[in-house]
């Protein structure tokens, strides 16, 4: 992003500063924080939902590929997969909106899976819990 600054004396006691950003002239108070001119804070929470498995599924106690779809207005930074509040893995790379990790359950029985998505601004979104049964 290119910015040009020019200073103009309006009288001996005040100085104005004009910023040219993408061809538009914007008045700026001398000493003002310039970041407010070019960037607005990202306050939009990303969204995530499980694609596989789904609540009620019965799974074999083997390698299971967990899949979630995550979206954000400025891009997803990572999706964290959890089992009963224990981290499984982070997925920070995806060619599309689908994120996935391989999971080997440590035990059989009921498992509660969670997906958490974050963007680079630190906003987080949460998928509803997915309850699955793992059997041999």
SS3 content of the chain, % helix, strand, coil (to 5): 5, 55, 40
Task: Identify the three-state secondary structure at position 35.
Answer: helix
Cα–Cα distance between 79 and 113 in angstroms, integer?
13
Q: Residue 95 has what pLDDT?
A: 64
pLDDT above 80 (res 59): yes
What does the pLDDT read at residue 127?
A: 97
* 38 and 24 Cβ atoms separated by less than 8 Å: no
7-11, 61-65, 111-115, 121-125: which has the minimum mean pLDDT?
Answer: 7-11
Are the C-beta atoms of residues 101 and 89 closer than 8 Å to each other?
yes
Q: Residues 74-83: what's their mean pLDDT?
A: 95
Q: Which domains does the chain have, with CATH numbers?
A: 3-38 (no CATH), 47-135 (2.60.40.10)
**Predicted TM-score of the model (pTM):** 0.69
pLDDT at 40: 78
pLDDT at 15: 44
């Amino acid at each position: 992003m290119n910015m040009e600054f020019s200073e103009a004396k309006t009288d001996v006691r005040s100085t104005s500063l004009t910023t040219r950003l993408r061809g538009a002239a914007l008045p700026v108070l001398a000493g003002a924080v310039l970041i407010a001119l070019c960037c607005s804070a990202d306050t939009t929470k990303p969204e995530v939902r499980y694609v596989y498995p789904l609540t009620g599924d019965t799974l074999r106690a083997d390698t299971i590929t967990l899949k979630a779809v995550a979206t954000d207005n400025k891009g997803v930074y990572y999706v964290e997969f959890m089992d009963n509040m224990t981290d499984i893995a982070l997925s920070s790379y995806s060619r599309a909106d689908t994120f996935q990790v391989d999971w080997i359950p440590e035990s059989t029985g009921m498992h509660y899976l969670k997906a958490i998505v974050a963007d680079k601004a630190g906003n987080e979104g949460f998928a509803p819990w997915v309850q699955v049964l793992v059997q041999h």
